[in-house]
Amino acid sequence: MKRLHLLAAIAAAALLSGCASSPPGGAPPGAVHGVPAPAAPPAADLRPLATADSGSVAQDPGLTTAPYRYRFAQVMPGSDRFTFQDRDLSFYFRPSQNLLFFQVENRQNRPVWIDWDRCVFYDPRAGSGLVAHSTTLWADRFNVQAPTQIMGLQRYSDYVLPMEYLVDPAGSKQQLHRPLLPDDTTAPQFSDKEFGVDLVFRIEDQPRTYSFRFKVVSVIPN
């Protein structure tokens, strides 16, 4: 009898856990995506810069149950590893249907800053505008975003998306946003579309812009 009560309790806990994972606000899966804020930098979504897989095309790292699978290429600066480096910084990118993940390493022994208010996102619908990242909320749309400091010889992981893709969370402390690329029947129309970001860093008190562009190589039904 005790064993039956224990099994019933476990089943009830599992049911409650499933209910708690429903999309916020009853939104259909894939329509709006929520991230608790402030969100931790998604370091687990990125691989170490030195061991990025070779190959000119990358698949979307998530959304294995989405109706369509996107594949990407880095076209500016051209790279078959989704990387770029100079004497100061080293970058690794992971494009996604929802967000553009990146990791940057400060290669010198002095701090640098990401100047978010000067960064620009170029979306796949040929628009451009301000950049949002992991801690940007709907309420921050018209506020100054604090720069992010990266200490010497350290790495920083984050993601970026167009500021205008943020969605009103109706008072909750979540970052809700539209996906960067659609997962409905319009998805195949985005094959060959390009998107990207200009990331502006302050290095030794001088602004420096790093421009990156990515192309949708193919859109394949799952």
With 0-12 CB in 10 A as exposed, 13-18 as middle and 19+ as buried, what is 121? buried
In the 8-state DSSP scheme, what is residue 168?
-
pLDDT of residue 58: 67
Residue that wins the pLDDT comparison between 16 and 127: 127
pLDDT of residue 140: 94
pLDDT band with cut points at 50, 70 and 90 for residue 137: very high
Q: In whole angstroms, what is the distance from residue 69 CA to residue 73 CA? A: 14
Side chain identity, residue 152? G
Mean pLDDT of 137-158: 97
Task: Report the share of the chain in percent with pLDDT over 90.
Answer: 69
Q: In whole angstroms, what is the distance from residue 94 CA to residue 49 CA? A: 11
Neighbours of 94 (CB within 10 A): 22
Domain spans of the chain, in order of start: 30-221
Mean pLDDT of 140-157: 97
Tokens of 72: 């990407």
pLDDT in tens, 167-187: 999 999 999 999 999 999 999
Mean pLDDT of 127-153: 97
Tokens of 150: 């990266």
Q: Is the model's pLDDT at 38 over the cut of 90?
A: no
pLDDT band with cut points at 50, 70 and 90 for residue 32: confident
Task: State the chain's mean pLDDT as an integer.
Answer: 82
Are 181 and 190 a contacting pair, CB within 8 Å?
Answer: yes
pLDDT of residue 34: 62
- CB burial of 64-78 (b: ≥16 within 10 Å; e: otherwise) equals eebebbbbbbbeeee
pLDDT of residue 47: 47
Q: Is the model's pLDDT at 76 over the cut of 50?
A: yes
Cβ contacts of 8 within 8 Å, gap of 6 or more:
none
